[in-house]
Chains A and B, each alone.
Chain A
Amino acid sequence: MAKTKRLALMALLTAIALTIFVIENQIPAPVPIPGVKLGLANIITLVAMVLLSRREAGAVLLVRILMGAMFAGSPSTLLFSAAGGALAYAVMCLTVGLFPENRLWVVSALAGVAHNAGQLIACMLVVKTPGVLAYAPILAASGVVTGVFTGLAAMYLLRALRKTKL
């Protein structure tokens, strides 16, 4: 892929991820558990990682988190999405090469758990009470469920994108 094309694709993916992120923020939380959400913008991070590279996906993620906080969040949500995003990105980088593309949902599930773990750590630092650990099990479970969902979504998106001979 030509350099210009990669840059255009990165910009496009960032814009899409940001849109998804802002729209998802407008929808009220489906379950009243702090930290549980679908994380649909992660679909784009996964797609960027497969179509482009780890580094470029990291850039897309970083810009999305920073601009997402500017558009939709507050300083405290920035802290959580940054902590979750950083850990999820690290796990994605480590595992994406280990699995074939049709097993991308496993990568995504692991990243989902890592994302929630990062959020929980940030939460513990903020609230300064070990009691938040009560949420660790349900956050691990929800990380797997939402991770598999976004992973499958990313796989279907990749399949469709390949047909367009991007």
Chain B
Amino acid sequence: MLNLLFYHKQGLIDKHGRFNYNTIMKKKTWIWVLILAAVVLAGVIATIRISRRSGTYALITVDGELVERIDLSKVRESRDLVVETAYGRNIVHIEQGAISVTEADCPDQICVLMGKLTTDGGMPIICMPHRLMIEIEDDGLDG
């Protein structure tokens, strides 16, 4: 009852007890601050969780088609794999437990800047202009 009185004073409900959406939209800045902050927080937490997913197999795909599936834990000597397609050229560096793009002839260089994707996790490497994607196959044993 006290609650209802409070809502009435705030203009959230009218005298018939109906919710007044207009007032909510107009008055309640903090509701939106809270909702938007929650989205940001959830996004960051989810991303941290996702980047902790681990596995030993790295999948390299172009245009959704598998180029190579590599067991990163069994790489003895590091090597460079040249992925050249009609879209462009990337040099993928494969080493024990990690994979990265070291060279790309695309303008944005995001895939190079993303650094290493390791068997302990990390975000998938995407080179949008070349439709190239490198991800760690989830072995389902994550905490």
Contact = CB atoms under 8 A, between A and B. Distances in A.
A32 B115 contact: yes
B17 interface: no
Given A29-B113, A32-B114, A129-B135, A138 B129 contact: no
Interface in B76-125: 107-110, 113-115, 123-124
B1 interface: no
A29 B112 CA distance: 12
A126 interface: yes
Contacts of A132: 124, 126, 133
Contacts, number: 97
Size range of the chain B interface in the assembly: 35 or more
Interface of B: 25-26, 29, 32, 36, 39-47, 50-51, 59, 61, 63-65, 107-110, 113-115, 123-124, 126, 128-129, 131, 133, 135
A132 B44 CA distance: 16
A1 interface: no
B61 A127 contact: yes
Contacts of B115: 32
A134 B123 contact: yes
